[in-house]
Amino acid sequence: MEQYEKYPNSIRRFQYEKAIIKRNPHIYWWELQRILDAKFGMQKEKTVSQGGGLIFMKLHTEIKIDAAHHLPNYEGKCNQLHGHTWKVVVEIEGIKNPQTGMIVDFVEIKKIVNEFDHGCINDFIQNPTAENIVDYFLDKFSVFNFPKITIRVYESENSYIEGTR
């Protein structure tokens, strides 16, 4: 957690909370708050307008791509090569970079998602189920080290899978 020392207490608290939940996903809310209050106290931080810390923001973008795939481990029609117009929804929570004024450039997000566009997803993922595609994108976006990222992949207009890391 030392890498977060430069951030305001609220961000450090958030990172510590994520680490506790990861180790113990069934922790009671009140118990988690007790641990966090003991470590970080209840002190309020100045807002940005008061000359204080950084703002935690959420970025949301939706990208449509056309790509083919087949499911080699599936018995049924999806075992055959076929295509979809996929919709990939990316939500990133993070802190605005003071130099760029952005959490991340939308162009960087589009580069990662668009590598599938008009191609065969099997060239990237051996068994490209919607779940495995979500895992793939979560791994790709992990290089940015965002506090929280959610990926939602729509295989059709009404069917999607979502993952958060």
Take residue 73 and report the two structure tokens written for it: 């481990």
Q: Measured on CA atoms in the order 50, 56, 62, 63, is the torsion positive or negative?
A: positive
Q: Is residue 21 within 8 Å of residue 28, measured between CB atoms?
A: no
pLDDT, tens digit, for every residue of 110-160?
A: 999 999 999 999 999 999 999 999 999 999 998 888 889 999 999 999 999
CATH of 56-164, one of 3.30.479.10, 3.30.1780.10, 1.10.10.60, 3.40.50.720: 3.30.479.10
How far apart (Å, rounded) are the C-alpha atoms in residues 157 and 32?
A: 38
Smallest CA-to-CA distance from 106 within 120, 85, 90, 83 is with: 90
Quote the mean pLDDT of the chain: 85
pLDDT class of 62 with cuts at 50, 70, 90 = very high
The per-residue pLDDT for 143 is 86
- Asked if residue 104 has pLDDT above 80, the reply is yes
Maximum Cα interatomic distance, the chain, rounded to a whole number of Å: 61
| Residues with a known catalytic role | 78, 118, 155
How far apart (Å, rounded) are the C-alpha atoms in residues 72 and 30?
A: 46
The per-residue pLDDT for 106 is 96
Which pTM value belongs to this model?
Answer: 0.69
